[in-house]
Amino acid sequence: MAITFPAQVERWDVFEAAAAGREDGNPFTGRVIRGTFRSKSETVTADGFYDGGGVYRVRFMPSFEETYSFELSGDFSGNSAPEEARGSFTVTPPEKGNHGPVRVANQYHFAYEDGTPYYSVGTTCYVWELQSDELWKKTLETLAGSPFNKIRFCIFPKHYDYNLHEPRSYPYEGNPMDGSVLTKENFSRYSGAMPGNSWDFTRFNTEHFRHIDRSVRALRDLGIEADIIVMHPYDRWGFSTMKRGEDGLYWKYVVARYAAFRNVWWSLANEYDLMPQKTIADWEYYAAVLCEKDPYNHPRSIHNCRFFYDHSRPWITHCSIQRQDLYKSAENVTEWRQRYKKPVVLDEIAYEGNIEHGWGNISGKELVRRFWEASCRGGYAGHGETFMHPRNILWWSHGGELHGESPARLKFLSDILRETPGLGLSPMEGSWDETAARAEVRGNGENSFGGGAYYLYYYGFMRPSFRNYYYGESGEYQAELIDTWEMTIKNCGVFRGKFRIDMPGKEYMAVRVRGI
């Protein structure tokens, strides 16, 4: 049996073995390939997948710098006995920028597997990867110069306002309905399995998925987590209304293809509650498939429109939240942390822009305020951008260029977050009129006043001309005044006992105090 595979692979990179196999029948449903990978420290079995043209692939992410042996099994070659193919490879140290997959590290925060803290500054571009080559490249260029280290996007194409054109490819073999009938006024009448669609939900369009391979890999090379939205309701093709068996086939294919990428996160759905055709039992089934099939335990979440999924479910690693209230969003992070005891990621808190919809027309100032508010409550926020555009290229769905005022400020915030000692900010009981955070010290350490103390205060839309601080009579503290909008940090000096920080009476100020 012909198999090809590399002799070595970097730790936490994708090892891929390709095997020639049978093309007759329906290999997607009728054939199996899997691999078992063994090193001194781990043994992992991973499902492979059919990639068309008689090629089967098995992917694996090694977690140790060791020598691995592997064997492929399954009926993909069509012989009467299960085929077996063996080999071995060496895992080399991670190169610069490769910190491994992201994990929940201390209940409320994230770190890469090598221990490097991961402060999520996410963005949303729902179907950026399904646009033209030109736009795809432009998006990657923009991301390379952006502060974003997580991006949410879908495998299925998107049918929605500003999303009426055809995607570059479809996930299944078959043909779509005629999209030329769609207008901004009538699109919402097209939903689910519309007449004119003809798809074979048992045969994947492998070029669609190979393109997503490339996209995930490109993001990985930029150090960006790919928060893959596996299901969503914005559909005119019927991908949101498949049967349980078809959904299961899809989930297994997706997990087999992408789980070995270290930068993958799983979002079971965007706005799961806008898919009334799916029951809680369905979502729990997808989650069970995912937990069974993903050997690497990538982050798992499910995102709401109006009603939260029960984020206390054990398979959910972190809360992926769309704000429920038009006015109050990031301010609720403290409450949600207490309720769910997991990291809180506000993946949708309205986007900077000026379109007609209330979820897509807040100012850069308000979006950045929400980020700071979430951050200083020990949570994370997500960016999106929806400016009117002559060719309807909106970052939120299509990527392209960024036009808003927030990204530069999110870079500034991101830099400050990465200066947090230990891992992550925790909400601190402060005055009623400030958002106060302290740094957590990792492991068995405890913050104490004096050396090691780290406090961050955020004043949002309030405009104090001064504030007083006090951490007891002993110890010296260095204080900085941060203008979160103008992106300046002013050293206010070193203080003892009670001290006062004068401020410019402007919005969006923060104060950072460090014990020295």
Residues that bind a second copy (CB under 8 A): 325-328, 331, 353-359, 361-363, 366, 388, 431-434, 461-468, 505, 507
What whole-number distance in Å separates Cα of residue 119 and Cα of residue 415? 10
Phi, psi (rounded to 5 degrees) for 417: -60, -40
The least distance separating a second copy from the CB of residue 409, rounded to whole angstroms, comes to 17
The least distance separating a second copy from the CB of residue 358, rounded to whole angstroms, comes to 2
Q: In what helix (H) or strand (E) does residue 72 lie, and over which residues does it extend?
A: strand 67-73
What whole-number distance in Å separates Cα of residue 169 and Cα of residue 379? 36
What whole-number distance in Å separates Cα of residue 330 and Cα of residue 374? 5
Closest CB to a second copy among 234 and 458? 458
The least distance separating a second copy from the CB of residue 428, rounded to whole angstroms, comes to 16
Closest CB to a second copy among 298 and 337? 337
Phi, psi (rounded to 5 degrees) for 373: -60, -45
Q: Can you name the residues that pair with 47 across neighbouring β-strands?
A: 34
Closest CB to a second copy among 34 and 506? 506
The least distance separating a second copy from the CB of residue 360, rounded to whole angstroms, comes to 9
Closest CB to a second copy among 134 and 429? 429
Closest CB to a second copy among 285 and 469? 469
Q: Can you name the residues that pair with 366 across neighbouring β-strands?
A: none
User: What is the CA angle 360-365-370, rounded to 5?
Assistant: 75
The least distance separating a second copy from the CB of residue 216, rounded to whole angstroms, comes to 34
Strands 85-92 and 8-10: parallel
Quick check: 153 and 229 in contact, CB under 8 A?
A: yes
The least distance separating a second copy from the CB of residue 380, rounded to whole angstroms, comes to 19
User: What is the CA angle 203-228-282, rounded to 5?
Assistant: 65
Closest CB to a second copy among 92 and 431? 431
Neighbours of 166 (CB within 10 A): 11
Closest CB to a second copy among 256 and 367? 367
The least distance separating a second copy from the CB of residue 369, rounded to whole angstroms, comes to 10
Closest CB to a second copy among 80 and 432? 432
Nearest C-alpha neighbor of 175 from the set 153, 202, 149, 198: 198
The least distance separating a second copy from the CB of residue 413, rounded to whole angstroms, comes to 19
Residue for token pair 């691999």 = 35
Strands 352-353 and 385-386: parallel
What whole-number distance in Å separates Cα of residue 76 and Cα of residue 1? 10
Helix (H, G, I), strand (E, B) or coil at 183: coil
The least distance separating a second copy from the CB of residue 390, rounded to whole angstroms, comes to 13
The least distance separating a second copy from the CB of residue 473, rounded to whole angstroms, comes to 15
User: What is the CA angle 168-398-218, rounded to 5?
Assistant: 75
Residue for token pair 């087999």 = 256
Closest CB to a second copy among 64 and 461? 461
From residue 158, give the alpha-carbon distance in Å to each of 166, 188, 233, 392. Answer: 9, 12, 8, 14
What whole-number distance in Å separates Cα of residue 398 and Cα of residue 157? 11
Closest CB to a second copy among 204 and 359? 359
